[in-house]
Amino acid sequence: METRWLTRKQLSAWLRLAAVLELLPTALDSQLRRDAQLTHFDYQVLAMLSEAPDRTMRMAKLAEGTTATLARLSHVVQRLETRGLLQRVPCPTDRRATNARLTEDGWKKVQDAAPGHVTFVRDNVIDALTPDQITQLADIGQAILHRLDPDAARAGMYQWYDAPDPAD
C-alpha cells in the first residue's frame, strides 16, 4: 500500500491542530490548578457529577462520560475523595457497581471553579472564532470523532449538549 502523503495545505492544517492539542490541555490545567487547585480532568469529573441526578453517577458511566479508562478514573476519584470533594458509595440497584457522589464541598468547588474556567475557554477558544466558525468547529470535531469513535461508544461527554439551545 502506497503512503498518501499530506499536501502542504493538509500538513499546515494538521500541524495547527496538533499544536492546539498540545497547548490547550496544558493551558487548561494551568488555569484550573492556579485558580481552583484542580486539573482539567478533575474539573470534568466534578462538573459531570454536578449535572447528574442527585449529583451521583455509576463509575462506569462517569468513565464513559469523561472518555477515561476505569483505572484512570479510579485513581482520580480516590484523590478527589481524599480531598472530600466526592465519595464512592455502593450502587443501590447493583451490588457489583460503585457510584461516585459529589459532596457539598465538591459542589462548592465546582461552583467556585466554573466562572474562571468558562472565562478561560471563552477568552482562548470561543471568542477567537466567529459564529460560523463555532459551527464549523463542532462539525469538524464530529467528523473526527466519528472516525475515532465510530459507534459513539465514548460519546457520553461530547453529545451532552447536542439539543438546540434556546439562547441561540
Question: pLDDT below 70 — which residues of the chain?
Answer: 154-168
Q: Tally the domains of the chain.
A: 1
Confidence (pTM) = 0.88
Question: What integer pLDDT is reported at residue 111 of this predicted model?
Answer: 97
CB 107 within 8 A of CB 52: no
pLDDT at 161: 63
pLDDT value, residue 65: 84
Sheet containing 98-102: which strands, arranged edge to edge? Answer: 56-58, 98-102, 86-90
For residue 106, tell me if it sits in a domain. Answer: yes
Domain residues for the domain of 92 are 24-124
What is the reported pLDDT for 155? Answer: 61
Query: How far is Cα 141 from Cα 136, in angstroms, rounded to an integer?
Result: 8
**Residue 83 carries which side chain, given as an amino acid letter?**
R
Domain annotation covers residue 9: no
What is the tens place of the pLDDT at every residue in 116-130? 999 999 999 999 999
Q: C-alpha angle with apex 93: 89 to 99, nearest 5 degrees? A: 25
Q: Any idea what the CATH number is for the domain that residue 49 is in? A: 1.10.10.10
Is 44 domain-assigned?
yes
Length of the chain: 168
Spatial separation of the C-alpha atoms in residues 4 and 62, rounded to whole Å: 38
Residue 161 lies in a domain: no
Q: Is residue 147 part of a domain?
A: no
Within a domain: residue 75? yes
pLDDT tens-digit profile of 48-79? 999 999 999 999 999 988 888 889 999 999 99
Give CA–CA dist 96/59, Å, rounded.
Answer: 11
Per the domain annotation, does 82 fall within a domain?
A: yes
